[in-house]
Amino acid sequence: MKKKILITGGAGFIGSHVIRLFVNKYPNYEIINLDALTYAGNLENLCDVDSKPNYSFIKGDITDLEFVTNLFNKYKFDGVLHLAAESHVDRSISDPLAFINTNILGTVNLLNAAKEVWKDEMSDKKFYHISTDEVYGSLGITGKFTETTSYDPRSPYSASKASSDHLVRAYFHTYKLPVVISNCSNNYGANQFPEKLIPLVINNIKHSKTLPIYGKGDNIRDWLFVEDHALAIDKIYHEGKVGETYNIGGNNEWTNIDLVKKLCDIMDKKLDQAIGTSQKLISFVKDRAGHDMRYAIDASKIEKELGWKPSIKFEEGFEQTIDWYLENTEWSDHILSGDYEKYYEKQYKNR
Ligand code: NAD
Ligand code: DAU
C-alpha cells in the first residue's frame, strides 16, 4: 500500500518546493496537495510536477470543518505536513481575523480530523506542523532563538502561529497525537509572492519603482534558501522525534538595508546599468507597526540530531533567486496585475 501524505498549502511558496521534493523523491508516496488557492496560492508553481502519477491536487479550505473531516475519512492519510497559512505580517496588521481563522481554527480542524481518523492506531502516523521563528518575538543585538526560548509573539501573524504551535503541542500531550514542529527563519527563493521583501524589491527595480524600506532599515533577518528549508522538512518528517521541536535557520543575518543594497548592485549588473542606479530608488518609509528588530536562529539541534545544515551558500542562492525572477517574467506578470496592484496601492499609499 502506498503511503498517503497530505501536504497543506502546497500551492504557496514553501509548500510548492516541499511538494516538488516529495513528489520527485518518493514515487511510492501518494502526495495530496490541499490548498484553498487564496491570493498566495498559485498552481503555476507546480507545473513541472502536476502530471506525475503520485501527485494530486484538491482545492479546499482548512477552515471548513465538514470538508476537512470528510477528506480525512476518505483518504485516511498516513502523514500530514501542514504549511497552509496566512503568512504576511503586514496583512495580519490590517486584517487579523483572516489569520485567526486559517492559522488557528484551520490548524485545529486538521488536528481534530487526524485525531479522529488515527484513533485506533497512531504509532505509524505523523502530524508535522510547519511554523516560524517569529513566535519567539524580537531579539536585541545578541543571542539567538533556541527551541526552549519562551514564546513572545508580537504581531497578529506571529500570535496566530504561536497559538497554533501551542495547540499542536496540546494535542500531543492530551491525546498522544504524534506531532512534530519546526520553527524556521526567513526563506528566500523562487515562487515567493512579491509582497515579501526580496521579490518585491526585485520587481520594483525591474519597473524602476521606489524601494520601500521600513524605518531605518536596521532590522535584521536570518535568511535561508527555500530549497534548504524543504530538505530540512524532509529530514524532520522522516527522522524527527515525535513531540519534539526543531529550529531551522540559515546562520545568515542581514540588516534590511544591507540586503537591499546588495540586491540593487546585483540587479544593476544583470540589467546592464551603472552600479548605483537601483540604490537611488531606495526610499525610507513609515515603519511597520510593532516591527520586530531582529530574528536569529540557533539551528544546532537539527544539525546535531538529524544531520541537517544549509547546503547552499547565500551568494549562490541569492544569485539563483534573482535569475529566477528575471527569467520567469510570465509568472510575475500573472501575479502583478489585478488584486496585487490594489493591495500595493493600499499598503504603501500613506507611508
Ligand atoms: P504562502 O503565503 O506563500 O502560502 C500559503 C499557502 O496556504 C497558499 O498556497 C494559500 O493558498 C494556502 N492557504 C491559505 N489559507 C488557506 C486555507 N484556509 N485553506 C487551505 N489553504 C490555505 O506561505 P509560505 O511563505 O509558503 O509559508 C508556508 C508556511 O511556512 C506557513 O505556515 C508559514 O507560517 C511558514 N513559514 C514561512 C516562512 C517564510 O519565510 N515564508 C518562514 C518560516 C515559516
Ligand atoms: O521569520 C520568518 C517569517 O519571515 C515568516 O514566518 C513569514 O511568513 C515571512 O513573511 C517572513 O516575515 P518578515 O516580516 O520577516 O518578512 P517580510 O519579507 O515581510 O519582511 C522582511 C523584512 O523587510 C522585515 O524587517 C520588514 C522589511 N520590509 C518588508 C517589506 C515588505 C521592508 O522594509 N519593506 C517592505 O516593503
Does residue 11's CB lie within 6 angstroms of at least one atom of ligand 1?
yes
Report d(CA 321, CA 115) in Å as an integer. Answer: 39
Q: Is the pLDDT of residue 350 over 80?
A: no
Q: Which residues does residue 12 pair with via DSSP β-bridges, in sequence order?
A: none
pLDDT at 335: 86
Q: What is the band of 336 on the pLDDT scale with cuts at 50, 70, 90? A: confident
- Segment 324-338 shows an average pLDDT of 89
Does residue 193's CB lie within 6 angstroms of at least one atom of ligand 1?
yes
Q: Is the pLDDT of residue 338 over 80?
A: no
Least confident residue range of 17-21, 65-69, 329-333: 329-333
Report d(CA 351, CA 343) in Å as an integer. Answer: 14
Q: Which long-range contacts (CB under 8 A, 24 or more apart) does 198-205 make?
A: 198/259, 198/263, 198/321, 199/325, 201/260, 201/263, 201/264, 202/263, 202/267, 202/322, 202/325, 202/326, 203/325, 203/332, 203/336, 204/281, 205/263, 205/264, 205/267, 205/271, 205/278, 205/281
Find the Cα–Cα–Cα–Cα dihedral 105, 106, 111, 116, rounded to 10°. 100
- What domains, with CATH codes, occur in the chain? 3-192+223-253+294-314 (3.40.50.720)
Report d(CA 90, CA 95) in Å as an integer. Answer: 9
Q: Which three cell numbers stand for residue 275?
A: 552600479
Q: Is the pLDDT of residue 294 over 90?
A: yes
Report d(CA 133, CA 148) in Å as an integer. Answer: 12
* CA 138 to mean position of chain CA atoms: 18
- What are the two backbone dihedrals, phi and then psi, of residue 12, each rounded to the nearest 5 degrees? -90, -170
Least confident residue range of 56-70, 74-88, 279-293, 336-350: 336-350
Secondary structure in 3-state letters for 166-226? HHHHHHHHHHCCCEEEEEECEEECCCCCCCCHHHHHHHHHHCCCCEEEECCCCCEEEEEEH
Among all bound ligands, the one having the nearest atom to the CA of 253 is 2
- Segment 129-158 shows an average pLDDT of 98
Among all residues, which ones are annotated catalytic?
Answer: 133-134, 157
Beta strands in 69-142 (DSSP E): 79-82, 126-132
Crossing angle, helix 226-239 and helix 13-25, to 10 degrees? 60
Q: Which three cell numbers stand for residue 5?
A: 501524505
Q: Is the pLDDT of residue 38 over 90?
A: yes
Q: What is the band of 341 on the pLDDT scale with cuts at 50, 70, 90? A: confident
- Segment 179-196 shows an average pLDDT of 98
Q: Which residues does residue 7 pair with via DSSP β-bridges, in sequence order?
A: 33, 81
* SS3 assignment, position 10: coil
Least confident residue range of 19-33, 275-289, 332-346: 332-346
134 Cα nearest atom in ligand 2 = 1
Q: What is the band of 346 on the pLDDT scale with cuts at 50, 70, 90? A: confident
pLDDT at 244: 98
Does residue 185's CB lie within 6 angstroms of at least one atom of ligand 2?
yes
pLDDT at 250: 98
Which pTM value belongs to this model?
Answer: 0.98
Does residue 161's CB lie within 6 angstroms of at least one atom of ligand 1?
yes
- Segment 185-210 shows an average pLDDT of 97
Q: Is the pLDDT of residue 131 over 80?
A: yes
Report d(CA 351, CA 348) in Å as an integer. Answer: 5
Q: If you average pLDDT over every residue of the chain, what do you get?
A: 97
Q: Tell me which of 256, 291, 340 to substitute to probe ligand 2's pocket, judged by most ligand atoms within 8 Å of the beta carbon.
A: 256
* CA 248 to mean position of chain CA atoms: 12
pLDDT at 340: 77
pLDDT at 59: 97
Q: What is the 196 CA–ligand 2 centroid distance (Å)? A: 6
Report d(CA 26, CA 223) in Å as an integer. Answer: 28
Q: What is the band of 337 on the pLDDT scale with cuts at 50, 70, 90? A: confident
Q: Which letter does DSSP use for residue 88 in this model?
A: -
Q: For residues 346 and 127, which has the higher predicted lDDT (pLDDT)?
A: 127
Among all bound ligands, the one having the nearest atom to the CA of 226 is 1
Closest CA to ligand 2's atom 20:
197
Write the pLDDT tens digit of every residue in 243-262: 999 999 999 999 999 999 99
Does residue 222's CB lie within 6 angstroms of at least one atom of ligand 1?
no
Q: Tell me which of 6, 7, 8, 13 to substitute to probe ligand 1's pocket, judged by most ligand atoms within 8 Å of the beta carbon.
A: 13
Q: Is the pLDDT of residue 127 over 90?
A: yes
pLDDT at 11: 97
Q: Is the pLDDT of residue 1 over 80?
A: no
Q: What is the 66 CA–ligand 2 centroid distance (Å)? A: 34
Does residue 186's CB lie within 6 angstroms of at least one atom of ligand 2?
yes
Report d(CA 80, CA 34) in Å as an integer. Answer: 10
Q: Which residues does residue 80 pair with via DSSP β-bridges, in sequence order?
A: 6, 127
pLDDT at 25: 98
Q: Tell me which of 39, 87, 89 to substitute to probe ligand 2's pocket, judged by most ligand atoms within 8 Å of the beta carbon.
A: 89
Q: Which residues does residue 214 pair with via DSSP β-bridges, in sequence order?
A: 285
Write the pLDDT tens digit of every residue in 67-79: 999 999 999 999 9
Percent of the chain with pLDDT over 90: 93
Write the pLDDT tens digit of every residue in 214-224: 999 999 999 99
